[in-house]
Amino acid sequence: MNLAVNNQSLMLALGLVVIALAIGWKEKLGIDRDMIIGVVRAVIQLFVVGYLLKYVFRLNNIWLTAILILIIIFNAGYNAKQRSNGIPNALPISIGAILISTSVTLGVLMLAGAIKFIPSQMIPISGMIASNSMVAIGLCYRNLNAQFRQERQAVLEKLALGADLKDASKEILRDSIKTGMQPTIDSAKTVGIVSLPGMMSGLIFAGVDPVRAIKYQIMVTFMLMSATSIGSVLACYWAYRGFYNDRKQLTV
Amino acid sequence: MSLIELQHVGYQVDDTLILQDINLSIDAQEWVTLSGPSGGGKSTLVRLIASLLSPTSGTLLFDGKSVEDYDPIAYRRRVSYSFQQPTLFGQTVRDNLSFPYQIRQLPFDEARAVRGLAYVGLSASDLDKGVNDLSGGQRQRVALLRNVMIYPEVLILDEVTAGLDAENRAFVWSLVEHFNQDDKLTIIAITHDQAEIDAAKRLITIENGRIVGGA
């Protein structure tokens, strides 16, 4: 390991936050408070997680690992739900979609032998999958809400012609799933050219051979594609019915 | 027995009454014209009849049975609603005329589409014309044709001639006449056009959510 981040250097790096705060204050962005809360929360959360992970990794217990993964999935689902803006049943939909997308992706990775069911691998990978799925689902919700309002008349006309809910919503569903997956596709296209993503950077930072590091990154790219596509498809297909009532009438 | 019967039908959103105590019977093959000031509740009334909304009070019967007892999708295939300033779907005229077949999982009857296009003053080559290349009058004709590619029993027209020039208006109206006279469709048409009001076979005036004349 050739990492040299100690408490003192972290304190000095805090100067970077001061720059951000100064910009926010000078431009009257009104985000100083949010920024300070964000920084304090990040520091506390990460310290707690750091010590917790150290303990969990040392314990190496299957059930504890599984419980932590479920907590990650619940939190991701809860956060995705916050983006739903009133879509009915958004919490169970979000948790279900993230649970399935994470399980399928983790399952394939384990079957392929890429990762093992040990906490030091399962927990960080689950976190990456669930958080990407969460962002994708949040984008899907936002797009569903926007599109059902924007395309209201087209949906009504399709219903008026006798279309069932799926036919009336098909374009909106397609567009929302695409929106959910777009950031993952975009970042896959530019990975290595524009950014050296977190996992790969972390490995290189920790002194791992870049050629080995990219193999992990390729795996991450594949798993994020799978997670966001499964998450987006499930969330959109489960959520769109919430825009209709039981008489199959549009309610927005 | 009337085909459509509204008994004390009302519709309200929160505390706002949009329609109240509407009593109306419409027979099969009848042509009913609805008129009245904007915001009076005409569009809401036809949306109730089209089952795009449900009454908050009263009963709406179709063929002697409450509309609420029909499967909404199957019902809307029998009672078709054509919008004012319609949205055309997809890219081409074909996308629109094939839509009614697509949702019923039936093969597209292209020959019928071509006959329909000729009937509304368009040609077979227009089938693959982009929807953005159509004029306002052509869009309205294609939309109307879309509603009747597979015949409904009732055709609801919500100001379909609004915004059209006199020639297109007359053309669309002659089409509706054909649907009513020759194809025996029941027509419920909202209009603000004085000539159409004057020519109405049965005129119903709606104001402030109530029928004030003609029922």
B52 closest CB neighbour out of A159, A164, A167:
A159
Q: From CA B55, how far away is CA A201, in angstroms rounded? A: 61
Give the single-character DSSP code of B68: G
- List the beta strands (DSSP E) in chain B: 4-13, 16-26, 31-35, 57-62, 65-66, 79-82, 154-158, 186-190, 202-207, 210-213
- 3-state SS assignment for residue A167: helix
C-beta atoms of A162 and B100 within 8 A: yes
Per-residue pLDDT tens digits for B96-116:
999 999 999 999 999 999 998
Residue with more model confidence, A29 or A119: A119
Per-residue pLDDT tens digits for A3-55:
667 888 888 888 898 998 898 888 888 888 888 898 999 999 999 989 998 99
Q: From CA B8, how far away is CA B15, in angstroms rounded? A: 18
pLDDT given for residue A61 in this prediction: 92
Angstrom distances, CA of residue B189 to CA of A48, A111, B26: 68, 63, 12
Q: Is A149 exposed, middle or buried (0-12, 13-18, 19+ CB in 10 A)?
A: exposed
Q: From CA B113, how far away is CA A121, in angstroms rounded? A: 60
* Mutate which: B67, B75, B87, vs A, most A CBs within 10 A: B87
Q: Which residues of A touch B146 (CB under 8 A)?
A: 161
Residue with more model confidence, A106 or A7: A106
pLDDT given for residue A35 in this prediction: 86
Mean pLDDT of chain B: 92
Q: Residue A115 — φ and ψ, nearest 5°?
A: -135, 160
**Neighbour order of strands in the sheet with B65-66:** B16-26, B4-13, B57-62, B65-66
Per-residue pLDDT tens digits for A174-184:
999 999 999 99
Q: Report the predicted TM-score, pTM, of the whole model to 2 decimal places.
A: 0.86
A249 closest CB neighbour out of B54, B74, B83:
B54
Spell out the domains of chain B, with CATH numbers in brackets. Answer: 4-213 (3.40.50.300)
Report the share of chain B in percent with pLDDT over 70: 100
Q: What is the ipTM score, two decimals?
A: 0.94
Ordered by start, the domain boundaries in chain A are 1-59, 61-243
pLDDT given for residue B215 in this prediction: 63
Mean pLDDT of the B79-89 span: 92
pLDDT given for residue A216 in this prediction: 85
Chain-centroid distance, C-alpha B5: 17
